[in-house]
Amino acid sequence: ETGVTQSPTHLIKTRGQQVTLRCSSQSGHNTVSWYQQALGQGPQFIFQYYREEENGRGNFPPRFSGLQFPNYSSELNVNALELDDSALYLCASSSVTNEKLFFGSGTQLSVL
């Protein structure tokens, strides 16, 4: 089995810019979810995608958006970056029949 991979591992942006983070799901998994983890806190759910459609969203504004592709890779896009968006962004994949989530190692985003 291939694991969940995320790119890039680190990224520096300035306030107001836009960013795209990428995730490749584990083979056979059709659900992907994204989490934001601030320093010293647990991950917070952003949204999940199933069959290329968003079907669950946490308490995040619309400037956080995503895409899921037919090959189950996905993207997280954040527009109009704010300083508070600095965090570790985690992607997780799962299959409908399996309750386990498999997380990638994350992308560390710094907004200056």
Binding site for other proteins (CB under 8 A): 4, 31-33, 35, 40-45, 48, 50, 55-56, 58, 90, 92, 94, 99-106
Nearer to other proteins, 58 or 65 (CB): 58
Q: Is 7 helix (H, G, I), strand (E, B) or coil?
A: strand
Give the shortest CB-71-to-other proteins separation in angstroms: 18
Cα distances from 51 to residues 2, 56, 94, 96, in angstroms, run 20, 13, 12, 11
Nearer to other proteins, 16 or 31 (CB): 31
Give the shortest CB-108-to-other proteins separation in angstroms: 9
The distance of Cα 52 from the centroid of its chain, to the nearest Å, equals: 14
Nearer to other proteins, 84 or 99 (CB): 99
Q: Is 106 helix (H, G, I), strand (E, B) or coil?
A: coil
Structure tokens that stand for 26 in this block: 């584990």
